[in-house]
Structure 1
Amino acid sequence: MTVSVKDVAARAGVSAGTVSNALNHPERVAPETVERVRAAIADLGYVRNDAARQLRAGRSRSIGLIVLDMRNPFYADVARGADARAEEAGLSVLLSDSARDSGRERRLVDLFAEQRASGVIATPLTAELEHFERLAERGVPVVLVDHEGDSDGLSTVSVDDRKGGRMAVERLLERGCRRIAFVGGPRDLRQVRDRYEGARRAVSDRAGAQLERVDLEDLTVDHGRAAGEALLRRDTADRPDGIFAANDLVAVGLLQALTMTGGVRVPDEMAIVGYDDIDFAASTVVPLTSVRQPAEQLGATAVELLAREPGEHVRFEPQLVPRATA
């Protein structure tokens, strides 16, 4: 049987309005009355209908979070940061995965609008942001993560990926690498484009250095391993002596192929730099040099931006974390 506010009121010997005040505005009720109401709630097992309360308020206490790929630990860290900051604000986070599908991304935006989310945080798939802009026009705050946009109605929080790409390749150049491969893709991802552009600029400033592009369909361990196996099939003289992987998952796959199946000495024969500095980058078979993004801080800052005026843009600096691979 469902327990109602009236049942709680009868058990506590107060009115239904007093029960409501004890729950929502306890400062308006005598402390001993609040205790009687809480005791009645405990005795009856009452659970208040928060959905109805949110419907009356016009907004829920939930934030929608849409990431590109929940399999990537980077996005798990973003979600962790967002969830911690949301909890401090008395909010919850509903995590969804667009799976890099533009149709699914739009459906998730519509779903969060229907659920009256108090805000939406998203890592957008492309620069086509109309569905996010429409949501903001309806009064729902929107913050784009890992994106640099110019829409006045949308806030953004990002990392300078061009600078990060340059830092990665400069590390390889400092080690003496001159035949450098950028391994990543697909090309339509903004993060991949910017990291490659940073790598290209670093190589263009160094006489005698070359940059090869190895395109992937996806930024996963499996695709990185396949790229590493393809490099091993080349003649030794045709192989790169330095690799910049577009993310750490790709770098892990490359390491598996090169060191565990190919017998290549990393970094002596081939140095590797990854990107993101996910938790297990330091625990790979050869600890991975990586460019760190402050993933948890990105998520926490996105939640903070939801409460501010729209159109604010926050950019963090990447950090090179040197380890054994470069």
Structure 2
Amino acid sequence: MSACHNVRMAGGQVSIKDVAERAGVALGTVSNVLNRPEKVAEPTRARVLAAIEQLGFVRNDAARQLKAGKSTSVGFILLDVRNPFFTDVGRGAEQQAAKHGLSVLLANSDDQPDREHAYLDLFEQQRVRGLLVSPLGNVFDRLERLRTHGIVTVLVDRVADGRPFSSVSVDDVAGGHLAVTHLIEQGCRRIAFIGGPVTIRQVADRLFGANKAAAEHPDVELEVLLKDGLTVQHGRAAADAIVQRPPGRRPDGVFCANDLLAVGALQSFTMLNGRIDVPGDIALIGYDDIDFASATVVPLSSIRQPSVLMGRTAIDLLLEQIEAEPGNPVEPRSVVFQPELIVRDSTRRLA
């Protein structure tokens, strides 16, 4: 009898043997009902299912999968679960995984390298079928070791930089360029970029694109205001510092590296300090186009990423690697989506 069929109950453990005795059938018959029900006659199957319900038997799939060496779980390490962009990516991954009988285990690195490494350890110990990672640090060597242990990886919201991993991402350089170009087209000439640490690849790429757009216009200045994180509170703090300046030294346009920063900046400009008209005094644009960007007190312009589609695509890329024939691996693929400008009231100025 395998321990993979045991479950803890109030009176002890109910096993597959208990189910067989209650139903009056052989152990193999119960196993067939659980794994190959089409092989069991309907009356016998009904008797076994009745015994399972009466005893409260629950199969231990985790142990069963461990014994079989084939998990039905996929690990997904997100950068920041508080950011709705990443939860939407996770939702897309779950939707696509479910179509293939897989479940997705979400883990939040919370922008902390130690947590990222701890979750890599955990998912390796759990022998997940595959791994989706939105990496914070340089974990490529670790991911290559995981692959030698049979755990393939797809990078999410990050390109592979020549490493042998499939990836799904958005062209963040193009997104940064798109955001600042839009502000310039609205008449902005003193533009501030509010972002988190440039050690985060997405922030660095969006800033690079912003600088590129500003450099195309000699009369445009781009000021860089970096914070320790990418939260609403960080955006509010950066905007508070702008409000404290004399009007002539304030930017007339602000590009935030994500929508959470933009929400914080909008709160500071229009609600907490109440001195800044958006977009009359300062035009404001974010990045990600999360759901509530359109529901803020002044609806936010943003750079849209196809978050749900990115999650679905990540699972498809992972399955390509998982289902490859032994000795004939599939060449890694990089899928790069183009960002989309979404214009709302926060940048829509009268001509």
For the pair 1:252 / 2:263, whether they are aligned, the reply is yes
Offset of 1:199 from its aligned partner?
1.0
Superposed, 1:1-326 pairs within 5 Å as 1-260=12-271, 261-309=273-321, 311-326=332-347
Deviations 1:213-232 (A, max 9, x none): 11111111111111111111
Deviations 1:166-191 (A, max 9, x none): 11111111111111111112111100
In structure 2, what is the Cα distance between the partners aligned to 1:152 and 1:270? Answer: 42
TM-score by length of 1: 0.96
Please tell me whether the aligned partners of residues 136 and 154 of structure 1 are also in contact (alpha carbons under 8 angstroms).
Answer: no
Worse-matched range after superposition: 23-32 or 290-299: 23-32
Matched position secondary structure for 1:213 = strand
Please tell me whether the aligned partners of residues 232 and 262 of structure 1 are also in contact (alpha carbons under 8 angstroms).
Answer: no
The one-letter code sitting in structure 2 at the alignment partner of 1:235 is P
Deviations 1:4-62 (A, max 9, x none): 11222222232111111111112222233322222221122111121221121113221
In structure 2, what is the Cα distance between the partners aligned to 1:150 and 1:195? Answer: 17
Matched position secondary structure for 1:2 = strand
Q: Percent identity?
A: 52
> Could you say if the C-alpha distance between residues 73 and 9 of structure 1 is closer, same or farther in structure 2, counting changes exceeding 3 Å?
same
Offset of 1:152 from its aligned partner?
4.8
In structure 1, what is the Cα distance between the partners aligned to 2:164 and 2:69? Answer: 21
The one-letter code sitting in structure 2 at the alignment partner of 1:270 is I
In structure 2, what is the Cα distance between the partners aligned to 1:323 and 1:301? Answer: 28
Please tell me whether the aligned partners of residues 197 and 226 of structure 2 are also in contact (alpha carbons under 8 angstroms).
Answer: yes
**Structure 1 stretches of 4+ moved >4 Å:** none
Worse-matched range after superposition: 308-317 or 65-74: 308-317
Offset of 1:117 from its aligned partner?
0.9
In structure 1, what is the Cα distance between the partners aligned to 2:154 and 2:82? Answer: 22
Offset of 1:130 from its aligned partner?
1.2
Please tell me whether the aligned partners of residues 244 and 274 of structure 1 are also in contact (alpha carbons under 8 angstroms).
Answer: yes
* Aligned twin of 2:325: none
The one-letter code sitting in structure 2 at the alignment partner of 1:312 is R
Worse-matched range after superposition: 245-254 or 262-271: 262-271
The one-letter code sitting in structure 1 at the alignment partner of 2:320 is R
Matched position secondary structure for 1:180 = strand
In structure 2, what is the Cα distance between the partners aligned to 1:56 and 1:153? Answer: 30
Matched position secondary structure for 1:308 = helix
| Number of aligned residues | 326
In structure 1, what is the Cα distance between the partners aligned to 2:63 and 2:120? Answer: 22
> Could you say if the C-alpha distance between residues 313 and 31 of structure 1 is closer, same or farther in structure 2, counting changes exceeding 3 Å?
farther
In structure 1, what is the Cα distance between the partners aligned to 2:303 and 2:45? Answer: 53
Please tell me whether the aligned partners of residues 136 and 153 of structure 1 are also in contact (alpha carbons under 8 angstroms).
Answer: no
Please tell me whether the aligned partners of residues 140 and 163 of structure 2 are also in contact (alpha carbons under 8 angstroms).
Answer: no
Please tell me whether the aligned partners of residues 8 and 40 of structure 1 are also in contact (alpha carbons under 8 angstroms).
Answer: yes
In structure 1, what is the Cα distance between the partners aligned to 2:220 and 2:93? Answer: 41
The one-letter code sitting in structure 2 at the alignment partner of 1:140 is I
* Aligned twin of 2:5: none
Matched position secondary structure for 2:14 = coil
